[in-house]
Structure 1
Amino acid sequence: MTQLNPRKFRVAAYAVVIDDGKMLLSRWIGSGEKLWILPGGGIEFGEDPYDAVIREVHEETGYHVEVQRLLGMQTSVGKRVSNVDGLEYDYHRLRIIYEAKVVGGELTFEVDGSTDEAAWFPLDQVPALDHVESVDFGLELLRAAPPHGHLPSFT
């Protein structure tokens, strides 16, 4: 009998924050390698994604943001190795991506979380950064502004 891999499903809310030609990113440290990501994260039970993205951006960057609009969603299914127990999971991510702007606060770094740094990068430097694909996806959603909030597939 074939043993099935455990499954994990994660729903998270992220923000594309651009100001004066620069993009705000957080540095994720969850997998042992450091990758730049859109600021945001997991939605808590009973929490509205709109509220989650505001909370998560503040936790990771120190900034207070105002959501401008829902850009769309990204779904990704694949395997990953858990950095906690070493097991391989069938992992499904659903990312809800908003456009937001900074309305207060100051740049600070998350302590004891899944990120360790936040920074502003000129848009033309973002492609060269070690980053997760959702950064490119969020920029493409912002650029294309599909009325249904969905891009077929993105590589």
Structure 2
Amino acid sequence: MKTELRVAAYAVCVRDGEILLARWVDREGRKRWTLPGGGMDHGEEPVATVVREVEEETGYVTEPTVLLGIDSIRRNWLRRLAGPGDWQGLRILYEARIVGGTLRNETGGSTDLAAWHPLDSVTSLDRVELVDIGVQLWRDRPPLGRSRLTDPANG
């Protein structure tokens, strides 16, 4: 079985009761809101990754201020030629503040829209689970940076 690891960094940007989200478009064309961020390039530092990805997806320049936590997910997949696989995503989540730039949408990337959303309306959005994990880490600030939403001990 083929194994694959993807490391990514994401930002939780909250100001005036709103959170910055990017709308992700998956391979089937479904659109769901996610935290701005994405995959780390080989040799890149995680902080540089989150700054680069947020600017690509939203137009904003950010400054990460706090490491909120690290989340890990696993998925099994079946690719036509590659056979079965075991994919793991390691997601590093930072709190970040906006220090420059102007809100805009990404073109030619994995997201098509960037917008601020009231925190109290996030649960009504069509979103990926990473949004809930990020909001929970931002609110709770767990000492080990582990989300109670994905902690096996809370299962």
Normalising by structure 1, what TM-score? 0.89
Corresponding residue of 2:143: 147
Unaligned runs of 5+ in 2: none
Q: Is the 8 A contact 2:9 2:94 kept in 1?
A: yes
Counterpart code for 1:34: K
**How many angstroms does 1:109 deviate by?**
1.1
Question: Following the alignment from structure 1 to structure 2, what is the Cα–Cα distance between the partners of residues 81 and 121?
Answer: 35
User: Percent sequence identity over matched residues?
Assistant: 47
User: CA 1:141–1:110 in structure 2 vs 1: closer, same or farther (change >3 Å)?
Assistant: same
| Map of 1:49 onto structure 2 | 46
Q: Distance in 1 between matches of 2:100 and 2:132?
A: 26
How many Å apart are 1:80 and its aligned residue? 4.4
Shift of the 112–149 alpha-carbon distance from structure 1 to 2, 3 Å rule, reads same
Matched residue type, 2:132 = D
TM-score (norm 2): 0.89
Structure 2 Cα separation of the partners of residues 48 and 117 of structure 1:
26
Considering only aligned residues, what root-mean-square deviation do their CA atoms show, in Å? 2.0
Render the CA deviation track for 1:2-22: whole Å, top value 9, x for unaligned.
xx3x32210000000011101
Q: Does the C-alpha gap of structure 1 residues 17 and 93 become closer, same or farther in structure 2, counting only changes over 3 Å? A: same
Report deviation, 1:34: 0.6
Q: Is residue 2:137 matched to residue 1:128?
A: no
SS at match of 1:69: strand
**From 14, 17, 24, the counterpart of 2:13:** 17
- AA at the equivalent of 1:72: G
Are 2:133 and 2:149, in contact at CA under 8 Å, matched by a contact in 1?
no
1:51–1:147 CA distance, 2 compared to 1 (3 A): same
Residues 80, 114 of structure 1: alpha-carbon distance in 2 compared, 3 angstrom cutoff: farther
CA distance in 1, matches of 2:96, 2:87: 27
2:70 corresponds to 1:73: yes
TM-fit CA distance, 1:143: 1.1
Q: Matches of 2:19 and 2:135 in 1, distance apart?
A: 10
| Secondary structure, counterpart of 2:138 in structure 1 | helix
Matched, 1:112 2:100: no
State the AA in 2 paired with 1:70: L
